[in-house]
Structure 1
Amino acid sequence: MSSSDFTKRYLPWVVATALFMEQLDSTIVNTAVPTMAVSLGVTPLSLKSVVTSYILSLAVAIPVSGWMADRFGTKRVFMSAIAIFTIASILCGLSVNTPMLVAARLLQGFGAAMMMPVGRITIIRTFPKAELLSAMNFVIIPALIGPLLGPTVGGLIVYWLSWREIFFINVPVGLAAIWLAWRYMPDYRDEQPRPLDVMGLILFGAGIALLSWLLEVFGEHRIDITSAIVLFAISGCLLLAYFLHAQREEHPLLRLELFRVRTFRISVMGGFLTRLGVGGLPFLLPLLYQLGLGLPAWKSGLLMMPSAAAAMAMKFISVRVLGRFGYRQVLVVNTVLIGVTISLYSFVEAGTPLYVIVAISLCLGFFNSLQFSSMNSIAYADVEQRDSSMASTIASSMQQLSMSFGLAAGSLITGWYLGDVPQSDRVMLTSALHYAFLTLAGLTIVSSAMFWSLRKEDGASISGSAKVATATTEAQTPPDA
Structure 2
Amino acid sequence: MTAATLPASQPLNFRFVALIVASAMFMEQLDATILATALPTMARDFHVLAPNMSVALTSYLLSLAIFIPASGKVADKFGARTVFAAAIAVFMLGSILCAQAPNLPLFVLARAFQGLGGAMMMPVGRLVLLRSVERRDLVSAMSWLLVPAMIGPIVGPPVGGFIVTFLDWRWIFYINLPIGLLGLGLVLRFIDNTHGDAVGPFDWSGMALSGVALGCLFFGFELASHPDLAPLVIALLVVGAVFGLLYVRHARRTADPIMDLSLMRLPSFGTSVIAGSLTRITQGAQPFLLPLMLQLDFGLTAAQSGGIVVATALGSMSMKAFAPGILRRVGFRTSLIVNGVIASCGYATCAFFRPGWPFAAIFVILMLCGFFMSFQFTAYNTVAYDAVPSERMSSATGFYTTFQQLMLSVGICTAALALEGSMVLRDHAHPQLGDFSAAFLVVTGISLCATIWNLRFAPAAGAEISGHRRPRAVTAAALGDGYDRTESA
TM-score (norm 1): 0.93
- Pick from 258, 267, 270 the counterpart of residue 262 of structure 1: 267
- Pick from 375, 380, 384 the counterpart of residue 385 of structure 2: 380
Confirm or deny that 1:53 pairs with 2:23. no
- What amino acid does structure 2 have at the position aligned with 1:73? G
- Pick from 412, 434, 458 the counterpart of residue 417 of structure 2: 412
Which deviations, in whole Å up to 9, do the C-alpha atoms of 1:423-479 show, x marking residues without a partner?
3xxxx5222111111111111212221101112211111111016994999x9xxxx
Alpha-carbon distance, 1:334 to partner: 1.2
Q: What CA distance in whole angstroms lies between the structure 1 residues aligned with 2:65 and 2:294?
A: 30
- The residue aligned with 2:368 is 363
CA spacing shift, 1:8–1:328, aligned 2, 3 Å: closer
- The residue aligned with 2:481 is none
Confirm or deny that 1:286 pairs with 2:285. no
CA spacing shift, 1:23–1:152, aligned 2, 3 Å: same
Q: What CA distance in whole angstroms lies between the structure 2 residues aligned with 1:8 and 1:318?
A: 15
Alpha-carbon distance, 1:9 to partner: 5.5
Which deviations, in whole Å up to 9, do the C-alpha atoms of 1:173-205 show, x marking residues without a partner?
111111111111110113545421000001111
Q: What CA distance in whole angstroms lies between the structure 2 residues aligned with 1:259 and 1:347?
A: 38
Contact persistence 2:15–2:140 (CA under 8 A): no
Contact persistence 1:70–1:193 (CA under 8 A): no
Q: What CA distance in whole angstroms lies between the structure 1 residues aligned with 2:472 and 2:458?
A: 9
- The residue aligned with 1:297 is 302
- The residue aligned with 1:16 is 22
Q: What CA distance in whole angstroms lies between the structure 1 residues aligned with 2:299 and 2:15?
A: 45
- The residue aligned with 2:114 is 108
Contact persistence 2:297–2:433 (CA under 8 A): yes
Contact persistence 2:311–2:363 (CA under 8 A): yes
Q: What CA distance in whole angstroms lies between the structure 1 residues aligned with 2:312 and 2:102?
A: 36
Structure 1 counterpart SS, 2:432? helix
**TM alignment of 1:8-47, pairs within 5 A:** 8=14, 10-47=16-53
Alpha-carbon RMSD: 2.0
Q: What CA distance in whole angstroms lies between the structure 2 residues aligned with 1:325 and 1:338?
A: 17
Q: What CA distance in whole angstroms lies between the structure 1 residues aligned with 2:15 and 2:332?
A: 25
- The residue aligned with 1:77 is 83
**TM alignment of 1:448-467, pairs within 5 A:** 448-466=451-469
Which deviations, in whole Å up to 9, do the C-alpha atoms of 1:394-415 show, x marking residues without a partner?
0001101101101111111111
Q: What CA distance in whole angstroms lies between the structure 2 residues aligned with 1:70 and 1:27?
A: 31
- The residue aligned with 2:404 is 399
Alpha-carbon distance, 1:332 to partner: 1.0
- What amino acid does structure 2 have at the position aligned with 1:381? D
- The residue aligned with 1:307 is 312
Contact persistence 1:460–1:469 (CA under 8 A): no
Confirm or deny that 1:430 pairs with 2:433. yes
Contact persistence 2:464–2:471 (CA under 8 A): no
Q: What CA distance in whole angstroms lies between the structure 2 residues aligned with 1:458 and 1:145?
A: 29
- The residue aligned with 2:160 is 154
- What amino acid does structure 1 have at the position aligned with 2:420? G
- The residue aligned with 1:350 is 355
- The residue aligned with 2:428 is 421
- The residue aligned with 1:220 is 226
- Pick from 322, 327, 332 the counterpart of residue 327 of structure 1: 332
What is the number of residues matched between the two proteins?
469
Contact persistence 2:33–2:157 (CA under 8 A): yes
Alpha-carbon distance, 1:47 to partner: 0.7
Q: What CA distance in whole angstroms lies between the structure 2 residues aligned with 1:220 and 1:228?
A: 9
- The residue aligned with 1:271 is 276
- The residue aligned with 1:447 is 450
TM-score (norm 2): 0.92
Structure 1 counterpart SS, 2:229? coil
CA spacing shift, 1:15–1:194, aligned 2, 3 Å: farther
Q: What CA distance in whole angstroms lies between the structure 1 residues aligned with 2:169 and 2:214?
A: 30
Structure 1 counterpart SS, 2:193? coil
Q: What CA distance in whole angstroms lies between the structure 2 residues aligned with 1:164 and 1:147?
A: 19
Contact persistence 2:2–2:192 (CA under 8 A): no
- What amino acid does structure 1 have at the position aligned with 2:308? L
Alpha-carbon distance, 1:421 to partner: 2.6
Confirm or deny that 1:68 pairs with 2:74. yes
Deviates more, 1:370-379 or 1:107-116: 107-116
